[in-house]
Structure 1
Amino acid sequence: MAEAGTALVGHVGRKRMRFALTDAAGQVRRDSVRSFTADTTVSISGAIMDFLRDARPDAPPRRSAFAVAGLPRGETVSITRGRWYVSRSGLRGMLGHAPLILNDFEAEAWAFHGADVRAEERFAGDEPSLRRAGTYCVLGMTSGLGVSVLSRDAAGAVRVLATEAGHGGFIAVSEELARLAAEIFPGRYPVVAEDLLSAPGLVRLYETLARRRGTAPRWTSAEDITRAMAADPLAGEACTWLCRAFWSYAGQLTIIYGAWDGVIVTGGVAAALRPLLRLAEMAPLFAGSGKYARLLASVPRVYAALDDGELAGAAEALRHLG
């Protein structure tokens, strides 16, 4: 484990970025968290300079970690569907050290490792303990689909696998789901999982169902659709189909990554859909009908959320890897 100490941590998302300082134990100082939006911030380096000028640390941080909404490979990391980019050499020149750069859902997994997870919703099985040896999948439905895997061996060593499974092909476990995905994305092979299992995907799904009924869509955002799902039958149908598709893909990812010890669901869209995600009809979609259906049915599945998870995860990763 790397030496803990005061450091700079950040999260660069599609529409906003946040920064914070850590304390001497390597934990995020909540009083130091500051946010910057795409409407007012031109560059990451400029936001960092503004943050440090406002935070006034006793000394320039000698270590840093940044969780980014993108694939952290190469010299320059582009933010997915955003206008920002992260330059490793630029940050190194400005900060005087090489920063740790990790995927935002890699950071989420590190955050769950570093915290006592308290499930806000149990979908199946007991509450998973990430402090026990095992392999766990962290899935988040937001403006995209985040997927990471955390494993702990019997000796207590922890590893986090950052994946881009959200950009993999959607795997349907029923003919109805396959047909619906093809209708939403005609001529696209494969249908990218994130394009369906996300806030924009919910809007596309809702619009497709409206066309089926020959009615004009009433709602234009995922937030409006989820708020209306209990009162508006079409919104409720769209949200239900999204949950079916989500559990369908989640079950397949559990097999692929061997995450038999637990699936942790998080993210704003998933939070809004919790009443539907827990419906009894969803369990068979997660388990499927293949060789491991019985084992999948026993996998613990919960919803959990952490305040400033990406920042906490960047700090935790820095303690282990930085």
Structure 2
Amino acid sequence: MNVAIDHLDRPEGVPVMPFLAADVGGTYARIALMRASPAGGRDIDVLAYRRFACADFSGLTEMLKTFVADEVHTPVRHCVLACAGQVMDDEVLNDNSAWPIDLRQLSEAMVLDEIAVLNDFEALGYAFDNRTDCGGRLLCGPDAHPEGPVLVIGPGTGLGAAARLPDSAGGHVLTTEAGQMDFAPNSLRERDVLAQLAPGGGYLAYERIVSGPGLLTLYATLCTLRGKVPWLTTPEGVTEAAAAGSDALAMEAVEIFCAALGSFAGSLAMTFMSAGGVYLAGGFLNSIFALLRRSAFEERFLHGRSVRAFLQRVPVRVSEHGRNGVLGAAKWYLKRGMSDVKPRQEVVAGSP
């Protein structure tokens, strides 16, 4: 379903009408009322924007209705959703979702003519078509924006990744299930963690370690290995204790998390030869930037690899998720042309 784009000139036939764009994650959803700028060219007008906690709503329909009631003053008949999961018939299924998404029920309840769906990290990939506008703090590598494939990685409720591959038309975004790759321990302590989480051997996804819930799992596992009773109950609690230096096991959990993220990012950067850079997206990583910078992330991103010289030239930045998801979804939607997008059919399976 990905279509190569190079700029945001509207396709012929795309009307200048407002539409909803929603970036739906496992913990938060970001919703915007958007339209292609009447002036044409590359501009998108963001008419309204809000972030919602998924736990505050019984489903996406209730959330969208709240947004429309509060922010929208004209009828809206088109919607594009960026969300993780896999579509079975009319339902978006995702193990990390706060609730299932039934596209047919949503369309009927919202009186929509059309719903288009794309993967959440695919949308982020399209948001990074102009990387100098996306900001981000440099974590390691050169402070530059070289040409080449760009990798977007986001540990949040789950672990997602997408690669933007340049081509003559401007770029093509590949979604992945990289978060489901086998976790590979790189230290004796990580081997202990793996043995505790998979005592019979076998498969353990990177997502079980490198995500918000994964960080909490790491902390609880380290407590078990040390014969301690865990008292921290949220990922935020673990990172706050680690930053304050008030809990040694929280500090160790964050260290393992950051190191494993470095290995994961380095492996994907090698896979896609991501000369254009790696973007670590999401508020979670942004909140622990200081801890990430002091960690073994860079060492594990580079360490022991035959392409070390290449990876040393790859800039790695930490970027706020912010509006990038809804902006990327809107770019994809407008470039394809609203009349050309087939609802509930052209869907990319996302990271569960």
Question: Shorter-chain TM-score: what band?
Answer: 0.7 to 0.9
Q: 1:28 to 1:264 in 2, by over 3 A?
A: same
Deviation at residue 24 of structure 1 after TM alignment: 3.6
Q: 1:242 to 1:39 in 2, by over 3 A?
A: closer
1:19 counterpart SS class: strand
Q: Is the 8 A contact 2:258 2:296 kept in 1?
A: no
Deviation at residue 202 of structure 1 after TM alignment: 1.0
Q: Structure 2 counterpart of 1:80, which letter?
A: D
**Structure 1 residue 250 corresponds to structure 2 residue 265:** yes
| Candidates 72, 76, 83, aligned match of 1:60 | 76
Q: Structure 1 counterpart of 2:86, which letter?
A: L
1:128 counterpart SS class: coil
Q: 1:176 to 1:39 in 2, by over 3 A?
A: closer
Give the TM-score taking structure 2 as reference length: 0.79
Describe how 1:136-147 pairs up with structure 2 within 5 A.
Answer: 136-147=150-161
The structure showing larger relative contact order (alpha-carbon pairs under 8 Å, at least 6 residues apart) is 2
Q: Structure 1 counterpart of 2:166, which letter?
A: R
Q: 1:127 to 1:201 in 2, by over 3 A?
A: same
What is aligned with 1:191? 204
**Structure 1 residue 128 corresponds to structure 2 residue 141:** no
| Candidates 19, 22, 42, aligned match of 1:7 | 19
What is aligned with 2:126? 110
Deviations 1:198-235 (A, max 9, x none): 11111121122223333322322110111111322222
Q: Structure 1 counterpart of 2:229, which letter?
A: A
Deviations 1:29-59 (A, max 9, x none): 26x2245544553332343344334333434
Question: Matched residues in 1 for 2:254 and 2:313: separation?
Answer: 25
Question: Matched residues in 2 for 1:29 and 1:7: separation?
Answer: 10
| Candidates 52, 55, 60, aligned match of 1:44 | 60
Q: Is the 8 A contact 1:105 1:162 kept in 2?
A: yes
Question: Matched residues in 2 for 1:238 and 1:196: separation?
Answer: 10
Describe how 1:249-288 pairs up with structure 2 within 5 A.
Answer: 249-279=264-294, 281-288=296-303
Question: Matched residues in 2 for 1:241 and 1:164: separation?
Answer: 22
Deviation at residue 179 of structure 1 after TM alignment: 4.0
1:149 counterpart SS class: strand
Deviation at residue 305 of structure 1 after TM alignment: 1.6
Q: How many residues align?
A: 316
1:101 counterpart SS class: strand
Structure 1: give runs of 5+ residues left out of the alignment: none
What is aligned with 1:77? 92
Question: Matched residues in 1 for 2:63 and 2:185: separation?
Answer: 42
Deviation at residue 76 of structure 1 after TM alignment: 1.6
**Structure 1 residue 119 corresponds to structure 2 residue 132:** no
- CA RMSD for the aligned pairs? 2.7
Q: Is the 8 A contact 1:173 1:288 kept in 2?
A: no
What is aligned with 2:344? none
| Candidates 116, 121, 137, aligned match of 1:100 | 116
Question: Matched residues in 1 for 2:53 and 2:322: separation?
Answer: 18
Q: 1:33 to 1:79 in 2, by over 3 A?
A: farther
Question: Matched residues in 2 for 1:71 and 1:114: separation?
Answer: 28
1:107 counterpart SS class: helix
Question: Matched residues in 1 for 2:209 and 2:198: separation?
Answer: 9
Q: 1:8 to 1:43 in 2, by over 3 A?
A: same
Question: Matched residues in 1 for 2:193 and 2:138: separation?
Answer: 28
What is aligned with 1:27? 44
Deviations 1:173-209 (A, max 9, x none): 4555344333334335221111110111111211222
Worse-matched range after superposition: 172-181 or 64-73? 172-181
4+ residue stretches of structure 1 with deviation over 6 A?
Answer: none
Question: Matched residues in 2 for 1:197 and 1:224: separation?
Answer: 16
Give the TM-score taking structure 1 as reference length: 0.86
Report % sequence identity.
Answer: 28
What is aligned with 2:7? none
